Amino acid sequence: MLIVTRLTEDRGCLKSQPLFCFQGTIFSMKKKGPVFRKYDQNQPMLLPPSYDELIPENHPVRVVNEVIERIDISGIERGYKGGGASSYHPRMLLKVLVYAYLRNIYSSRKMEQALKENIHFMWLSSGAKPDHNTINDFRGKRLSGELEKVFSEVVQLLAGGGSAVAEGSCS
């Protein structure tokens, strides 16, 4: 490696610029600007990640999911009539509602927004996006008379050690 200096004139002043030669190629030792990682919002993903891969194992949303999966919601399911248009599953709506309350979100419009923007809500709902009227109807009509029973089951399950929260693995 050979280091040489090149003299250049800048506004009537002579400046020296160090250069070095390596295997026949001349490189400048001039200080370079910042180097940034590649950033391209239009880059398509061949395999988009699943929601599950994006949620940490010990996240509270997983606890809500686990607890609501274990409780009996047959009382809520009995409130649905057969026929007509298909409904969102009451277990999914209950998970969304409980997780929203855990995050101090009480407005059905904010829950609707979270279902479109927040990866944790997207994971709970499997990408379903019920609107605020559906959420509010579920809360006001379908959970009427069932909410106390549901929450007592949740408390019993957590107190009995049947969840990651009761075992202390979730922070």
**Taking a C-beta distance cutoff of 8 angstroms, is the pair 99, 124 a contact?**
yes
Which among 170, 164, 168, 169 has a CA at the least distance from the CA of 66? 164
- Asked if pLDDT for residue 121 goes beyond 80, the answer is yes
Mean pLDDT of 17-36: 67
What is the DSSP track for 15-74? EEEEEEEETTEEEE-PPP--------TTPPPSSPPPHHHHS-TT-HHHHHHHHHHHS--H
**How many CB atoms neighbour CB 19 within 10 A?**
15
Residue 94 to residue 79: CA distance in whole angstroms: 14
Global pTM? 0.70
Residue 147 to residue 150: CA distance in whole angstroms: 5
**How many CB atoms neighbour CB 130 within 10 A?**
20
What is the tens place of the pLDDT at every residue in 47-99? 778 889 999 999 999 999 999 999 999 989 988 888 888 899 999 999 999 99
**Given this model, what pLDDT does residue 2 score?**
56
- Asked if pLDDT for residue 44 goes beyond 60, the answer is yes
Mean pLDDT of 90-111: 96
**Given this model, what pLDDT does residue 107 score?**
98
